Each structure stands twice: as structure tokens, then as C-alpha cells.
Amino acid sequence: MLQPYRGMKGKLVKLVNLSGSKASIYSVIIPGESVTLYERFIQENASSFKSELKDINDRLKAIGKTVGAREQYFKLDEGIPGDGVCALYDDPDKRLRLYCIRYGTQLVILGGGGPKPKCIRALQEDPKLTEENYYLRELSDKITERLKEKDILFSKSGLDFEGDLEFNDEDDE
């Protein structure tokens, strides 16, 4: 049974299976967990939404290797203005929502997500989606701080983060 995570801890890692010449796909490993947030999202939904997961996974691979992280493939403005938190586009008749942070067309950080209950109007009405979304908001905030301080830089190719990619609650305070 996967335990829920709390607090702003984690390390950015580049998912080599999905990344390519068009975009790099990152996710986050939470200390004490053996899988990334994106893998956890797969595990949590594999039994009920296998076909949606396959579609999401293939779209992410196409973004990394063929088409890049164009704005049109995402549902934008899922966080606070300017923080890049978004969701991979999900059709109203699909159930799964996957949150991410997008940095232009070349970098995406995958977080977690979950099934969208049909009865809710805002993500805050669903605790699981709220937790996943707010984690990324906080992560985006920390990354922005480090970019400002130059503790994190974009690589020359624009395809990678460089620098201190590990986050703890106590950092940046």
C-alpha cells in the first residue's frame, strides 16, 4: 500500500524512457519512496484505467521524442498565475488527470494525479487532486526561487536542469 506523502521534499530525476530530442520529461522521487510521482500515478490507476494510462504514457513519449511540449497539449493555468502548473490535456469523457509543471516546449516535470470525480467543479473539492496539485505548486515555487538564486540553471540546449535538484522542507527558508 502506497503511503501518502506530505511536505515539500523530493528530488528531480529525468525519465529517460520518455525524454528525447524534443523535450525532457522529469518527475520527482520523494525520500523514502522507491518510485517517482509519475510511476506512483501509474501504479495507483493501473487496475481501473489501464487504457487511459497507456494513452497518457504514449502521449508523453511523443512529446519527448517527436513533437515537444507545445502548449496545446496541456490544460494550462492549473496553479497560480505564472507558476507553470498545468495538466496533460484530458478529454471531459476521460477520467484521469495528471498534473505537471511545464517550462516552455522543452521541459516538463510530471507530478501525480488521479481520477476526476464528475461531480466536482474545482480541484479543491477532491483531496487527492488537491494534494497532488498543491505539491507541484510548492515545487514550482521552490524551483523559481532557485532559478532566481542561480542554484538551478537551464542547460545550454534548454533540455535539462542543472544544479541542486534536491528539495527539503528546511531548504530555501
Partner 1 sequence: MNNSEIYKSSIIDDLLGSTTSEESEKIEKRMLLAAKIDDAIKAKGWKNKDLLKALNKDNPSVVTKWLSGTHNFTIDTLFDLERVLEVNLVNLEEKPKRTIAVSYLHMEVTRTVPVMEPIFQETILGICKSGDVSIRLKQKVTPLGQEPIKSTEFWSCISSGWLDHSKTEQKRFSKNIESQLVPLA
Q: Could you tell me the smallest distance in angstroms from the CB atom of residue 20 to partner 1?
A: 11
Integer Cα distance of 166 and 143 in angstroms: 10
3-state secondary structure of 29: strand
Of 30, 22, 156, 4, give the one whose Cα is nearest residue 13: 30
Using CB under 8 A, pick the residue from 163, 168, 171, 172 that binds partner 1: 163
Placement of cell 528546511 in the chain: 170
Applying CB under 8 A, among 5, 49, 73, 167 the residue interacting with partner 1 is 73
In the list 8, 12, 87, 143, the residue contacting partner 1 (rule: CB under 8 A) is 12
Q: Give, as ranges, the residues between 39 and 68 that touch partner 1 (CB under 8 A).
A: 39, 42-43, 50, 53-55, 57-59, 61-63, 66-67
Distance in Å, CB of 165 to partner 1, minimum:
6
Residues 12/17/22/28 CA torsion (nearest 10 deg): -20
Q: Is 74 left (phi over 0), alpha (psi -120 to 50) or beta?
A: beta
- Burial of 127 by CB count in 10 Å (0-12 exposed, 13-18 middle, 19+ buried)? exposed
Closer residue to partner 1, CB minimum distance, 60 or 123:
60
Q: Which is nearer to partner 1, 87 or 129 (CB)?
A: 87
166-167 and 161-163 beta bridge pairing: unpaired
Binding of residue 35 to partner 1 (CB under 8 A): yes
| Binding segment (CB under 8 A) for partner 1, from list 1-9, 25-33, 111-119, 122-130 | 25-33
List of residues contacting partner 1 (CB under 8 A): 11-18, 24, 26-27, 29, 35-36, 38-39, 42-43, 50, 53-55, 57-59, 61-63, 66-67, 70, 72-73, 89, 91, 153, 160-165
